[in-house]
Amino acid sequence: MSPLDPTADVVALTAALVDIPSESRHEAEIADAVEAVLREAPHLDVVRDGHTLVARTQLGRDSRVVIAGHLDTVPANDNFPSRLDGDVLWGLGSCDMLGGVAVALRAAFHLSAPVRDVTYVFYEAEEIEATANGLGRLARTRPELLDGEFAILMEPSNGVIEAGCQGSLRVDVVARGERAHAARSWMGDNAVHRLAPALQRLVDHRPRTPVIDGLTYHEGINAVGVSGGVASNVIPDEARLSVNYRFAPDRSEQEALAYLHTLFDGYDVVVTDSSPGALPGLDRPAAAAFVEAMGVEVNPKFGWTDVAQFSLLGVPAVNFGPGDPLLAHKKDEHVPVAQLRAVEQRLHAWLSGEGEQP
């Protein structure tokens, strides 16, 4: 029997989810609880893969939508368990993203005859390294479970639509010189000093602001660290400038890397981490119909989210969930009760076909 009551309202269900410890790599308990709810719904086919759950309707509808949310949280920071204070629910994961999970879980349990077939995905390990990500594992090993015309990721978006996402590329820009005694520095070649032109190129750089599907994405290339040095009396022979490039989704990872090679011509550029962006896909009929039905503001997503996993599968995807993304991972993480209810009402109405032509 699940400790979760899917007949409770979305606020109470969010609080119950928050009250189950679910730090990354420790999702067994929350996955068990969610699985028990899903298996109580006879209209769902349920598959479990590790601590990742996939529940699908099989109604023979003309289209299928995928609705996904991650079960894990970052470590607690004196913000566990949940606390309801007036119109705000406080607690670890309330914003990122157990409020969105509650919305999706109630839809999965209650909507037995949606106008679209629906695949619900509740997955593990989003908050840690990409190799552990449950959604990514499904995309690599069982992509057929993620088939759909359109996907909605219940990431916090302040109750509006954030379309696509930017890619993220991290590199080390490497300068090399020659060691020498600091008392005879002219006998060597200071690698740290050789980074000065690279830093100046970043200072002078003007970021791109491409418009994609009517949305303006704002790129950024920034130094995020400098390392080098051997000892206080040695001229260093190697130094590294760590750079993070947040690139718009009209560039592939390969194109983004080529751009950095051009920008840092004359240096070695070593990739340390790379994740693709995701095009908003708002020109696709399913995505356009969802945007019209929601009737909310549409913004570009500047951070990286798992919509990129769907983009790699050719499935357009948006972020749409309760909670302010700026509160994710913060000690004072919380979600407005009104936003939980508004997101649920809009999503459930769309899945039920309310207001659509028969």
Measured distance between the N- and C-terminal CA atoms of the chain, rounded to whole angstroms: 38
How buried is 315 (Cβ within 10 angstroms: 0-12 exposed, 13-18 middle, 19+ buried)?
buried
The beta-strand segments (E) located in the chain are 45-49, 52-56, 64-70, 83-85, 88-90, 117-123, 150-153, 161-163, 167-176, 180-181, 211-212, 215-216, 220-228, 234-235, 238-247, 268-275, 298-300, 317-320, 334-336
Residue 261 to residue 241: CA distance in whole angstroms: 14
Residue 252 to residue 308: CA distance in whole angstroms: 11
Residue tagged active-site, from 19, 72, 162, 237: 72
Q: What is the DSSP pairing of strand 238-247 with strand 167-176?
A: antiparallel
Annotation marks residue 333 as catalytic = no
Q: Is residue 36 classed as helix, strand or coil in its secondary structure?
A: helix
- What lies within 8 Å, CB to CB, of 147 at 6+ separation is 64, 66, 119, 315
Would you say 79 and 333 are in contact if contact means Cβ atoms under 8 Å apart? yes
Give strand pairing partners of 205.
none
Residue 171 to residue 158: CA distance in whole angstroms: 32
Angle of helix 28-39 relative to helix 99-110, nearest 10 degrees, comes to: 20
Residue tagged active-site, from 19, 117, 124, 126: 126
Annotation marks residue 72 as catalytic = yes
Catalytic residues: 72, 126
